[in-house]
Chains A and B, each alone.
Chain A
Amino acid sequence: MQRSRFLIGSLAGLTVSANATDLFAKALAMPALPNVAPGAVDDRVLIVINLQGGNDGLNTVVPYGMPNYYRYRPTLGISPHDVLDLDNTIGLNPQLAPLKAMYDKGQVAIVQGAGYPNPDHSHFRSTEIWQTAEPEHYVSTGWVGRYLDEADLPESNLFNAVALAPVLPAVMVGRRVDVPAIAALRGYGLSSDGNVGERAAFATVVHDDRVPFSSPYLATVATIEDHAQRGSEELPKLIAGYASQATYPATPLGRSLSLAAQIVGSRLGTRVIYVQHGSFDTHAAQKPTQDRLLHELADAVKAFYDDLAAHGEEKRVLTMTFSEFGRRVAENGSRGTDHGEAAPMFLIGGGIAGGLYGKHPSLDALDNGDATFTTDFRSVYATILEKWFQRPTTGVLAGSFPTLPILT
């Protein structure tokens, strides 16, 4: 038997590509040259954090002043002594202490009861609805993708938006702008140490589209191969000048936001960065999982804004969280919660009017066991588009939605 033992690395897939380090070393010796003209860039950045799996909103922004809360949550209910009070009725999960500190400084807005009519309880469909902003139709572009298309960004910029994820999420899919997906900077690059001739030939053959067959995927493959090759060569050079000024938690979200800060601070003309965190799908034994994930979220976000503030960048960056749904109001028999409906969204940043927005969903009149939404999530998107990016929602959102006074 011929066993090919050519790949040396750890089992977790953390093989370090020798070349990534090389590129980095080379980058340090080279001036950063963003391929966007200085001054032509609208400075504002949106960070989208997807809380995957359906985060339990009731144990995130806790209605501890509503008696029904403890009736529906006999084992999962968070004690009034533990919640971080916001207004004598509503409080934050104690794991969110770092976010509470930012809230107290006016840097966190909480949109309560975000959702949409006729909510879908499927992870996939509801994620798709939040990402496409189309509850009633199946569309294949995301709302961020459509914004990027509409914003008339320079096509030569490979980093108009970046998804820090192993798979490109639907929210970032547009028609014109190809958004790179980067799981981590490590491994984002070619490892072959071939000679000059090989590299030159590589740059040509990877976008061979004059082939003797037709395939619906050919153009996509050729474009992505071309962008991957050029982008992975450029990005480490472009962000090498940024030195992080915060200690990020050693979690996947911490690493993603650390890279996000590098990209933001290097001013590449990047408008939107997508990161993900999860899984919040807590059908059973919810508390330890949700506690850990909320703790990781607050820790990473705090480090991110500390880092940005140390660079004077915190007012440029708005962060929005979403999750495909909240969870059923009543806990189930497994100390978990099933798929529900409305849930809060967080908007975080140095340039916002913090506070509680919208109404907390009623726990008196439930919709088949679920909390009914009080704010359409597309109002939040409209607020971001119109007030943050100062672009019309036409072509991005179907219909018009009132904006919230979070951004001025």
Chain B
Amino acid sequence: MIDPMVASAPPAFRPAGPLPASPLAPYAGPWNARLAAHLLRRAAFGGSPSDIQTAAGQTMNAAVDALIHFPSTDSLPEGPELIDNDEGTPIALPQIALPQTMASPMPDASGADPATSAIVEARKARQMLRRRQELANVTWWLDRMLVSPAPLQEKMTLYLHGHFATASGTKGIYGTDIVDQNWLLRHYALGNWRDLTHQIARDRAMLKWLDNARNVKAHPNENFARELMELFTLGIGNYTENDVRESARAFTGYTFRRRTGEFYFNVAQHDDGDKTFLGHTGNLSGDDVIDIIFTQPAAPKYFARRLLEFFVYSDPEPELVDAVAATIRKNDFNMAPVMSVLFRSNVFYSDRTYRALVKSPVEFAIGSYKLFGFTEVAPQTVGVLNRMGQVPFHPPSVKGWDGGAQWLNTQTILARENFASEITTAAAQSKNFLNAAPPAPARDEAQALTHTILQGDASPASVADLESYLDGRGTSADGMLSGENFEERMRGAAYLTMAMPAYQLS
């Protein structure tokens, strides 16, 4: 009998058809603007028409090398603007102290106690400063994604942010806690991810986020130990509940100094008894636990699957996962050579990978800014990204963003279309491909738009719809495309092109 649950499963999102032979062997087929744009969408944040031309004009290997062996980023801003409090102290660290009563339970919500109103005011003021800092943090990173000469570094950092997902603005993570973690992720973006995991266990934002700062000998707190294995390194099914409890003991005493925010190992709160973890017994530390984890065959497989789902396609075949895992193991978790293999591989340039992912909101927004040649992100974009379902530094949970079909629902799709409407309005009034040349016949403009924005990935029927729209068919007042209506019509046609399904796909 067919299991009714299986029978009602929704369509899987693994591409149809068989995996190519030697999926990770270097791709040797033709190289063109369509594949160059594909590489830039996946390994960067898309590109302007001229970025795509440049990549298409090189060899595939040169285009990949330019991403992996990236130039210095010293010219970029050193970090977000630091928001000051009234005394001119950056709110990052040390944090503004509040009266002790604020940490205690709220007054009875039924009636406001006038004695607490001063505290309420102080809380509001602090909240406002914190929100301004949050906004500064996010716009700083979005701007960096947009203009960095090392876009792969930013893309890997975004990947790692989803992998080691930590949210700011909660659990005492404020100011630049999350920015410091972001620099850590960026430092190891193409580096050694075992080393990164050791550092993550000492990262202030992470110590707060998963409560390890409060993980003490007398009362072990399992939150970090559990997620370390479940979400960061091994995946469910590769350890037991007992391994969680034992490794939580190993991480006792991993905390940070309240005054400086620096990591510190509190020996007095560390449980130095024997622990048994994944078959190893001894007075294990948290770092021993991480080293043991990285000897497990499940670890490279876990990273391989997550990487494939982010950079290649959903639900990758076990054979493909194993092949990437072997590459990770061979390179001892040094990721530059792994990504180099992936971005040159047969499978990466195969039809099954092309447009096989849904653009994340960040990819959608930054890619659109790049498309029209904007070089700064409007701060209001943070709110737009919120409606699309992804604000950097604010993942919904420690699981990060699921991606894929989870990006798509009525609400988020409308937010994407409304963003497209806004950005095309701005683009029509600045200089870019929409207005670089004098008006051509509607048919040629429609073709050009779908080529520039979608690499030609539109049906002939949709190109014809664009042409009709450009020529004002179906409306009474306006005539054919002309100098007079050019700006307005090109804006509308670009908006329509960005609303096509292909533009939602990477």
The answer to whether A and B belong to the same complex is yes
Report A191-208 residues with CB < 8 Å from chain B CB: 191-192, 194-198, 200-202, 204-208
Residues of B within 8 A of A368 (CB): 241
Residues of B within 8 A of A81 (CB): none
Residues of B within 8 A of A207 (CB): 501
Report A302-361 residues with CB < 8 Å from chain B CB: 332-334, 336, 338-339
Q: How far is it, in angstroms, between the C-alpha of A7 and the C-alpha of B422 when the chains are bound?
A: 7
B375 touches A225 (CB 8 A): no
Whether B354 is near chain A, meaning CB under 8 Å from some CB there, is yes
The interface bits of chain B over 302-329 (1 if a CB of A lies within 8 angstroms of the residue's CB, else 0) are 0000000000011000000000000000
CB < 8 Å neighbour of B422 from A139, A188, A191: A191
Whether A66 is near chain B, meaning CB under 8 Å from some CB there, is no
Q: How far is it, in angstroms, between the C-alpha of A205 and the C-alpha of B417 when the chains are bound?
A: 12
B459 touches A4 (CB 8 A): no
Whether A84 is near chain B, meaning CB under 8 Å from some CB there, is no
Chain A's nearest CB lies how many Å from the CB of B56? 18
A198 and B378 contact, Cβ closer than 8 Å, known pairs A4-B426, A141-B8, A214-B15: no
Whether A9 is near chain B, meaning CB under 8 Å from some CB there, is yes
Chain A's nearest CB lies how many Å from the CB of B54? 20
The interface bits of chain B over 397-420 (1 if a CB of A lies within 8 angstroms of the residue's CB, else 0) are 111000011101111111101100
Q: How far is it, in angstroms, between the C-alpha of A201 and the C-alpha of B459 when the chains are bound?
A: 14
CB < 8 Å neighbour of A141 from B5, B219, B381: B5
Q: How far is it, in angstroms, between the C-alpha of A167 and the C-alpha of B386 when the chains are bound?
A: 11
CB < 8 Å neighbour of A1 from B376, B421, B422: B376
Report B461-496 residues with CB < 8 Å from chain A CB: 461-462, 465-466, 468-469, 472-475, 478, 492, 495-496
Residues of B within 8 A of A166 (CB): 387, 389, 411-412
Chain A's nearest CB lies how many Å from the CB of B114? 20
A201 touches B496 (CB 8 A): yes
B356 touches A215 (CB 8 A): yes
B375 touches A228 (CB 8 A): no
Whether A125 is near chain B, meaning CB under 8 Å from some CB there, is yes
Residues of B within 8 A of A221 (CB): 358, 408, 413, 501, 504-505
Q: How far is it, in angstroms, between the C-alpha of A139 and the C-alpha of B497 when the chains are bound?
A: 36
Residues of A within 8 A of B398 (CB): 123
CB < 8 Å neighbour of B10 from A6, A12, A174, A287: A174
A333 touches B214 (CB 8 A): yes
Residues of B within 8 A of A216 (CB): 11-16, 313-314, 356
A200 and B501 contact, Cβ closer than 8 Å, known pairs A205-B466, A217-B405, A334-B214: no
The chain A residue with its CB closest to the CB of B419 is: A7
Q: How far is it, in angstroms, between the C-alpha of A231 and the C-alpha of B411 when the chains are bound?
A: 10
Chain A's nearest CB lies how many Å from the CB of B217? 9
CB < 8 Å neighbour of A187 from B11, B377, B414, B469: B414
Q: How far is it, in angstroms, between the C-alpha of A5 and the C-alpha of B235 when the chains are bound?
A: 43
A213 touches B355 (CB 8 A): yes
Interface size on B, residues (CB 8 A): 109
Whether B25 is near chain A, meaning CB under 8 Å from some CB there, is no
A395 touches B376 (CB 8 A): no
Whether A68 is near chain B, meaning CB under 8 Å from some CB there, is no
Report B72-109 residues with CB < 8 Å from chain A CB: 103-106, 109
Whether B288 is near chain A, meaning CB under 8 Å from some CB there, is no
Whether B23 is near chain A, meaning CB under 8 Å from some CB there, is no
Q: How far is it, in angstroms, between the C-alpha of A175 and the C-alpha of B358 when the chains are bound?
A: 20
A225 touches B356 (CB 8 A): no
9-residue interface stretch from B117-125, B222-230, B272-280, B332-340: B222-230
CB < 8 Å neighbour of B380 from A11, A197, A285: A11
Residues of A within 8 A of B382 (CB): 11, 13
A189 and B380 contact, Cβ closer than 8 Å, known pairs A122-B226, A220-B408: no
Chain B's nearest CB lies how many Å from the CB of A294? 10
Whether B193 is near chain A, meaning CB under 8 Å from some CB there, is no
Chain A interface bracket (under 10, 10 to 19, 20 to 34, 35 or more): 35 or more
A228 and B354 contact, Cβ closer than 8 Å, known pairs A167-B389, A210-B461: no
Residues of B within 8 A of A202 (CB): 496, 499
B501 touches A211 (CB 8 A): yes
CB < 8 Å neighbour of A338 from B9, B13, B223, B465: B223
B356 touches A201 (CB 8 A): no
Residues of A within 8 A of B236 (CB): 122, 125
The chain A residue with its CB closest to the CB of B15 is: A216
The chain A residue with its CB closest to the CB of B384 is: A7
Report A12-58 residues with CB < 8 Å from chain B CB: 12-15, 17
Q: How far is it, in angstroms, between the C-alpha of A17 and the C-alpha of B423 when the chains are bound?
A: 15
Q: How far is it, in angstroms, between the C-alpha of A121 and the C-alpha of B239 when the chains are bound?
A: 13
CB < 8 Å neighbour of B221 from A11, A125, A146, A334: A334
B219 touches A212 (CB 8 A): no
B457 touches A224 (CB 8 A): no
Whether B502 is near chain A, meaning CB under 8 Å from some CB there, is yes
The chain A residue with its CB closest to the CB of B102 is: A288
CB < 8 Å neighbour of A167 from B378, B406, B430, B468: B406
B109 touches A292 (CB 8 A): yes
The chain A residue with its CB closest to the CB of B372 is: A4
Whether A250 is near chain B, meaning CB under 8 Å from some CB there, is no
CB < 8 Å neighbour of A14 from B383, B465, B473: B383
CB < 8 Å neighbour of B216 from A6, A210, A213, A333: A333
Could you name 20 residue pairs across A and B whose Cβ atoms are closer than 8 Å?
A13-B384, A15-B383, A121-B241, A122-B236, A123-B397, A146-B5, A187-B387, A187-B411, A205-B466, A205-B497, A206-B501, A207-B501, A213-B351, A213-B355, A217-B404, A220-B405, A221-B358, A228-B410, A228-B413, A333-B216
- Contacts A228-B410, A338-B221 aside, 13 further interface pairs with beta carbons under 8 A come to A5-B426, A7-B381, A7-B422, A141-B5, A175-B9, A196-B475, A198-B495, A198-B496, A215-B15, A217-B357, A217-B405, A218-B355, A224-B410
